[in-house]
Amino acid sequence: MGSNGLTVGVVGAAGYSGGELCRLLLNHPGVGAILPASRGELPFEQAHPNLAGCGLEFLSPELLVESAGGLDFVFYSAPAGTAMREAPRFVEAGVRVIDLSPDFRFADPVVYERIYGEPHASPHLLGEAAYGVTELYRDDVREARIVANPGCYVITGVLGLAPLVAGGLADLDRTIHISALNGTTGAGSTPRREVMHPEVFGSVLPYSMEGHRHGPELEDRIGALAGRKVCVGLSTAHGAFARGICLQASVSVRGRGDGAITRETLLDLYRDFHGPGHEGNYFVLLNELPKNGKPNAKEYDVYPSVASVAGSNFCHLGVDYDAERGIAKTIAVTDNLVKGAAGSAIQNMNVMAGIDETAGLTHYGL
């Protein structure tokens, strides 16, 4: 780190996650210089008019590689297949890599090829990549040369399900059912008619129902927490909003129906795992508002709202329990571009750089 702070490069800086990285890095107290890379012709402030006045200018990805000697970190926010080909050049130059794409998320290159449809270009680096759910893998992240930032549905689901799974309450012989709505920025900035405003507004757009790519990643991560194979049925759709994920999970509970488990049991479990309020996992906040107990009372305020986390690095959680069926319900909300992408990546950078994990990220939602 130089005397003015960290120097960081961003590949894919013209895109949605890359733009969000720049927005957050511009306000980061430990960052002295940002080098955003794009292959396109558009000036930086035209690509990101929300950052007008920031003074950043794009350089080419080739020039960024040539500048590697002066970088502390490089973020990859490019499509799958880019970082696995290019990141080794940064690693060899001593630059630590944080990849927002799926390229380094699976230890086994065969699994990567099965899901992403091409052989892995740098299988020798997979073993050393840390998986970047900071809340669960801080120690691995701290030392890593490469961090694989998790998928946006995955970090939301893992933070929401970890207490149930690690606490031994989930009956993992049964499928975990997850239904999640993502904002349209989740589709990236390449234009597609189906996700244009006139098509999506006032509607919902289901996709990848045969098995979203994040399903196996969720199974991998929840399986690692449980120490066994698990089955996750993930259903995904875009909602008529730009940012945010609202994920709802249904998990069968061991010892169902014996009356021993209540919503309070689940709240205790979640509070123990993530810590109360900002203690423990600072960015994970549990909605603990009490219910009045009347059947079908539609107590909306006891569950988190996706609008509340927009623009922030927070994950808000809510829980409930269907006692008649023995099913625990978890609701987890994040901003897909922040906690689901750029914010988590910066949280990982903070841990790797040995600075406060929350630096540059403590602002609340819009």
Ligand X SMILES: NC(=O)c1ccc[n+]([C@@H]2O[C@H](COP(=O)([O-])OP(=O)(O)OC[C@H]3O[C@@H](n4cnc5c(N)ncnc54)[C@H](OP(=O)(O)O)[C@@H]3O)[C@@H](O)[C@H]2O)c1
The residues of the shown chain that bind ligand X, judged by CB under 6 A, are 11-12, 14-18, 38-40, 61, 77-80, 82, 100-101, 152, 185-186, 188-190, 336-337, 340-341
Nearest-approach distance from CB 72 to ligand X, in angstroms: 20
Distances (CA, A) of 146 to 110, 128, 170: 19, 7, 32
Contacts of 81 (CB under 8 A, 6+ apart): 101, 103, 116, 118, 121
Nearest-approach distance from CB 179 to ligand X, in angstroms: 18
Nearest-approach distance from CB 229 to ligand X, in angstroms: 25
Q: Dihedral of CA 102/107/113/119: which sign? A: positive
Considering beta carbons, is residue 230 or 342 the nearer one to ligand X? 342
Residue in the shown chain whose Cβ atom is closest to ligand X: 15
Considering beta carbons, is residue 15 or 239 the nearer one to ligand X? 15
Candidates 21, 74, 80, 67; CA nearest to 47 is 21
Considering beta carbons, is residue 87 or 327 the nearer one to ligand X? 87
Contacts of 113 (CB under 8 A, 6+ apart): 119, 120
Nearest-approach distance from CB 290 to ligand X, in angstroms: 34
Q: Is 315 a catalytic residue?
A: no
Considering beta carbons, is residue 14 or 24 the nearer one to ligand X? 14
Candidates 38, 10, 37; CA nearest to 24 is 10
Q: Cα torsion for 103, 165, 245, 238, to the nearest 10°?
A: 80
- Ordered DSSP codes for 84-153: HHHHHHHHHTT-EEEE-SGGGS-S-HHHHHHHHSS--S-GGGGGGPEE--HHHHHHHHHH-SEEEPPPHH
Contacts of 302 (CB under 8 A, 6+ apart): 287, 289, 290, 291, 318, 320
Considering beta carbons, is residue 193 or 294 the nearer one to ligand X? 193
Considering beta carbons, is residue 99 or 357 the nearer one to ligand X? 99
Nearest-approach distance from CB 148 to ligand X, in angstroms: 11
Which of 22, 54, 152, 231 is catalytic? The answer is 152
Helix (H, G, I), strand (E, B) or coil at 175: coil
The amino acid occupying position 17 is S
Count of beta carbons in the 10 Å neighbourhood of residue 174: 16
Nearest-approach distance from CB 264 to ligand X, in angstroms: 34
Contacts of 248 (CB under 8 A, 6+ apart): 178, 179, 180, 329, 330, 331
CA–CA separation, 100 and 89 (whole Å): 17
Nearest-approach distance from CB 196 to ligand X, in angstroms: 15
Considering beta carbons, is residue 58 or 321 the nearer one to ligand X? 58
Return the active site residues.
152
